[in-house]
Amino acid sequence: MKERLDELLKDRGMRPSQLAQAAGLGTSTVDDILKGKTNELNIGVDKMLKIASVLGVSVELLYGRKEPSSLHIPPEPRERQLLDRFRSLNDEGKEKALDYLDDLVDTGKYKKRDPVGMAQEA
């Protein structure tokens, strides 16, 4: 698990202390996993769920039952920036942000274009 967690942290540009804080865990818990002192069998399901939730992956992936590349495509820097900003909003702000994104997509002006120049469906 330590290799998988280290890889996921690097993919997301997160420090172990940031993961610990976001998951409501002690920094030593995450550090112990990364040092191999604690493994997925003795960390506890509740902590595994918190870590998986913060990283946006399944617990199954953390347990190493599937390869990360088959389940997870690391976000582009702009996607990461968007997600970080979205997570900093309260519920009302999140709703407004989603409404604004819907408006941008609905206008068609900002949709991705395929090589022929046709707007791609979302």
Structure confidence by residue, pLDDT tens digits, 63-115: 776 654 444 566 778 888 888 888 899 999 999 999 998 888 888 888 777 55
CA–CA separation, 34 and 8 (whole Å): 11
CA–CA separation, 116 and 9 (whole Å): 38
Tokens representing residue 2 in the block: 């330590």
Structural domains of the chain ordered from first start? 2-71 (1.10.260.40), 77-107 (no CATH)
pLDDT (0 to 100) of residue 96: 94
CA–CA separation, 47 and 20 (whole Å): 10
Structure confidence by residue, pLDDT tens digits, 7-49: 889 888 889 999 999 999 999 989 988 898 887 678 888 888 8
